[in-house]
Amino acid sequence: MTATELRPGLRRRVFFGVRLAEREDAEEGARVVEVHPTSSAAASGVLVGDRVLRINGAAVDSGAACQRSIKDLTPGEPLEVEVARGPARARVRLVGTTKPWPTESFPGSTLVLDHVGDAGRRQRVFFTRPDAPGRRPAVMLMRGFSCRSSEFPFAPQTPLRLLLTAWARAGYCTLRVEKLGVGDSEGPPCPDNDFASELAGARAGLEYLRAADCVDAGRIALFGHSVGGMIAPLLAAERPVAGIGTFGTSADRFSDCAAASRRRQLTLAGAPLRDLSAMEALQALLVRERLSLEEALRRRPELAAVAPALLPEGRLFGRSMTYSRELDAAPIEAAWREIDAEIAIFHAEYDYVCVREEAARIVALVNDGGCGRARLVELPGVGHLLYTHPSLRAAFDEPEVGSTDTGIVEATLDWLGRAFA
């Protein structure tokens, strides 16, 4: 088994471990359809078919309510679950203790759970180091725009986890920094954070790698997926690295990249495009000119009709407006020209988020105006989330359905071999 080392300073989140049915009726509670065998729920005696009514006194009627009820708990604390059981809906009080979130396994390496950042904004670090002694090259993986976790204990075959496993097996250290408000990390909910905070967390992760006793600080590479591929050159322009790999990213200004991606995705979805120009105009006022919504609509009142579609729940692309503004202003193009590293720009044939022209433009920025060490690596039949698909339509309709045998594992090992030579 892989050794796991939990360092002090940031608690592990609690794993309640049930899957609840969608709201079906007005009946109290939420129906359990699955219980994970190593979970707090299983240890307390929760059964499939139970309706969870309360957790430690807090009413539960959904998965979100369940998560809120355990959010501030620490593994090993008392847990009381009230359920309604059986056809008669008999109320049963179950008592147990909370269990920690499961950890990943990397044979031949030790998984270190550490953190970067100060109290209240501490971010979980997942660091793997080979069990063999000596200083090793290291790879830092950075995820994209979404607020999904960078930890994959339940999905060892997911594409990013397969990359990490391959890099660890090759004898490299690996590192991920969980975003603020995600998983074990502290801080505001992820959608509320700005890009400066996300960049600062990645910067702290890179410094963590440089300081690690087992890392050869002169042989560190960055791999960024989507927005992670925008963060990578910004970090490398500040502190030299041996290599940069990106997948599904762009050097265009974020607002332009996002608008083009929206247009492609609406077209694939067969949605009407009649409001698209108005949405793009409002987005430009909000992001590029940094107007408030009220200011933008005073200037262009005819755009009010598209505001709800552009800003569901008041967010642009599900994140804060500050995030989009800061990312849009980031000097990504200039950063690519300043870097001297082994660079591989991976492009997926069926990527509808960022297209081949954007990948080729990064290569041109580096080779025509920079260090001249960039290569475009094509991945036929692959989509934005690193699964294979028979067509662009299939990649769009079911982005996480398909084979993970995409060729990117071997391609990244080739790139890292060049970077660390």
Q: How many CB atoms lie within 10 A of CB 372?
A: 10
Interatomic CA distance for residues 132 and 172, integer angstroms: 11
Q: How much is the pLDDT for 370?
A: 83
CATH architecture of 109-253+329-419: 3-Layer(aba) Sandwich (3.40)
At 27, the pLDDT band (50, 70, 90 cuts) reads: confident
Q: What is the pLDDT of residue 232?
A: 99
Give the chain's mean pLDDT. 96
Q: What is the pLDDT of residue 23?
A: 79
Taking 90 as the threshold, does the pLDDT of residue 363 lie above it? yes
Q: What digits encode the pLDDT tens for the residues 244-266?
A: 999 999 999 999 999 999 999 99
Structure confidence at residue 279 (pLDDT): 96
- In this predicted structure, the answer to whether residue 323 has a pLDDT above a threshold of 60 is yes
Please name the helix (run of DSSP H) or strand (run of DSSP E) that holds residue 169, with its range, or none. Answer: helix 159-169
**In this structure, are residues 156 and 165 in contact, taking their beta carbons and an 8 Å threshold?**
yes
Strands 109-116 and 3-6: parallel
- With a cut of 80, say whether residue 117 has pLDDT above it: yes
- Closest residue by Cα to residue 327 from 247, 227, 232: 227
The reported pLDDT for the residue numbered 2 is 63
Interval 76-98 mean pLDDT: 95
Dump strand ranges (E) for 170-248. 173-177, 215-225, 243-247
Architecture of domain 17-97: Roll (2.30)
DSSP for 35-60 reads E-TTSHHHHHT--TT-EEEEETTEE-
- The percent of residues above 90 in pLDDT, for the chain, comes to 97
17-97 and 109-253+329-419: identical CATH topology: no
Mean pLDDT of 401-420: 97
Query: CA-based diameter of the chain, in Å?
Result: 74
Task: Return d(Cα 28, Cα 84) in angstroms, integer.
Answer: 9
Residue 111's pLDDT is what?
Answer: 98
Give ∠ CA 138-416-114 in degrees, rounded to 5: 20
pTM: 0.95
Calculate mean pLDDT across residues 106-115. 97
* CB 247 within 8 Å of CB 406: no
| Contact status, residue 44 vs residue 69, Cβ threshold 8 Å | no
Q: Are 155 and 142 in contact (CB under 8 A)?
A: no
DSSP state of 246: E
Domain limits, the chain: 17-97, 109-253+329-419
pLDDT band at 26 (very low <50, low <70, confident <90, very high): confident
Mean pLDDT confidence for 81-98: 95
Q: Does 1 score more than 70 pLDDT?
A: no
In which residue are the tokens 């609509």 written?
297
Query: Residue 137: which of 371, 343, 415 has the closest Cα?
Result: 415
Structure tokens at 89: 């809906």
pLDDT band at 317 (very low <50, low <70, confident <90, very high): very high
Say how many CA atoms lie within 13 Å of 365 toward its Cβ. Answer: 23
Question: What mean pLDDT comes out for the span 137-159?
Answer: 96
Number of residues that this document lists for the chain: 421
Are the C-beta atoms of residues 47 and 132 closer than 8 Å to each other? Answer: no
Contact assessment for residue 184 and residue 158, using Cβ atoms and an 8 Å cutoff? no
Determine the pLDDT at residue 326: 99
Mean pLDDT of 277-296: 97
Higher pLDDT pick, 26 / 260: 260
pLDDT digits (tens, 9 = 90+) for 167-193: 999 999 999 999 999 999 999 999 999
The pLDDT score that the predictor gives to residue 369 is 85
**Nearest partner of 306 among 293, 291, 288, judged by Cα:** 293
Residue 357 above 60 pLDDT?
A: yes
Residues whose CB falls within 8 Å of the CB of residue 161, separated by 6 or more in sequence, listed in order: 104, 152, 155
